[in-house]
């Protein structure tokens, strides 16, 4: 009777073979040979939101990586939590790149977020003040512990709405600092200046220009901005003299729980728990 025989390779050879196979699989799948650094996670995705790494369509709980661009198509948006508990909204028809992230002992030591086009909301987390910089085609925005929206049109013109904290918006020639809730900074290629604050003008025009400021119940609680405070500011401003308009699908935190799109993890929901 013939005896079966088998050869057993040393463990080191097996490990080397498996590593080579894994590396080849990653390359064939379109991933870079070096591991990209995970800097956050998608929490909520409405319709089509993609990550540039391997051109993948994002789903809730998918990681996002340093130097990756996150894009949302029309009628879409993505809500992302970074590893320091900062929160990002990528609005519809928008492209945002997560760049130059350096991990520190408490959050990120530094990070740059580039808004190529569209609408973007940033709510800072546990990283030190001044750790983040936001860039657009015509501006650099210094972040000092804030909630703010950024809007970039097809020509790069940039508008920033502050809701809490302070930001410094700079053009190639000057900078403007805004530190009062609802103030708006505009940056062109040649100049940075302030505009009339949110809710001091025509409501329909503002909703068209600043698409993240209406219907806050589209977003989970920790990704909303306190927009209703802007209507209150306008109501108390003698130069404006308007009554606050009833919230359209909730203007901010504090409305009835029936309007919530879904329940959140209370431990991690952030600013408005």
Mean of pLDDT values over 240-252: 58
Measured between alpha carbons, how far is 169 from 176 in angstroms, rounded to an integer? 5
| Of 64 and 129, more confident | 64
Measured between alpha carbons, how far is 86 from 43 in angstroms, rounded to an integer? 12
Selection from 209, 273, 199 nearest residue 239 by Cα: 199
Comparing 11-15, 158-162, 255-259, the range with the smallest average pLDDT is: 255-259
Banded model confidence at residue 248, pLDDT cuts 50, 70, 90: low
CATH topology of domain 38-197: Jelly Rolls (2.60.120)
Q: What is the pLDDT of residue 119?
A: 98
Measured between alpha carbons, how far is 117 from 114 in angstroms, rounded to an integer? 9
| Domain locations in the chain as residue ranges | 38-197
Q: What is the pLDDT of residue 245?
A: 57
Positive or negative torsion for Cα 71, 77, 82, 86:
positive
Q: What is the pLDDT of residue 106?
A: 80
Whether the Cβ atoms of residue 109 and residue 131 lie closer than 8 Å to each other:
yes
Mean of pLDDT values over 186-200: 97
| pTM for the predicted model, two decimal places | 0.79
Comparing 34-48, 135-149, 184-198, the range with the smallest average pLDDT is: 34-48
Positive or negative torsion for Cα 221, 209, 167, 102:
positive
Helix (H, G, I), strand (E, B) or coil at 1: coil
Measured between alpha carbons, how far is 241 from 261 in angstroms, rounded to an integer? 33
| Of 8 and 71, more confident | 71
Residue 74 class from Cβ within 10 Å (0-12 exposed, 13-18 middle, 19+ buried)? exposed
The full DSSP string for 33-86 is: SSPPPEEEEEEEEES-EEETGGGEEP-TT-EEETTEEEEE-TT-EEEEEETTS-
Helix (H), strand (E) at residue 178: strand 175-178
């Amino acid at each position: 009777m013939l005896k079966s025989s088998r050869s057993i390779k040393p463990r080191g050879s097996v490990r080397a073979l498996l590593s080579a196979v894994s590396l080849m699989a990653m390359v064939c799948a379109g991933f870079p040979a070096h591991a990209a650094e995970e800097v956050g996670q998608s929490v909520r995705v409405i319709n089509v939101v993609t990550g540039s790494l391997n051109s993948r369509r994002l789903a809730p709980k998918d990681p996002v990586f340093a130097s990756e661009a996150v894009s949302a198509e029309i009628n879409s948006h993505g809500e992302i939590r970074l590893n320091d508990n900062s929160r990002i909204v990528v609005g519809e028809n928008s492209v945002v790149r997560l760049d130059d992230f350096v991990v520190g002992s408490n959050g990120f030591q530094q990070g740059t977020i580039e808004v190529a086009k569209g609408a973007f909301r940033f709510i800072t987390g546990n990283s030190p003040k001044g750790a983040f910089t936001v860039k657009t085609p015509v501006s650099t925005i210094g972040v000092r512990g804030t909630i703010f929206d950024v809007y970039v049109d097809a020509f790069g013109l940039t508008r920033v709405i502050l809701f809490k904290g302070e930001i410094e918006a700079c053009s190639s020639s000057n900078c403007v600092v805004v530190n009062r809730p609802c103030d708006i900074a505009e940056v062109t290629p040649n100049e940075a200046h302030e505009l009339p604050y949110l809710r001091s003008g025509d409501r329909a025009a503002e909703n068209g220009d600043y698409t993240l400021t209406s219907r806050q119940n589209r977003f989970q609680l920790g990704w909303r901005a306190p927009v209703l405070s802007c209507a209150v500011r306008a109501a108390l401003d003698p130069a404006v003299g308007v009554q606050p308009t009833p919230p359209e699908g909730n203007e901010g935190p504090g409305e009835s729980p029936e309007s919530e799109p879904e329940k959140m993890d209370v431990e991690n929901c952030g600013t408005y728990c």
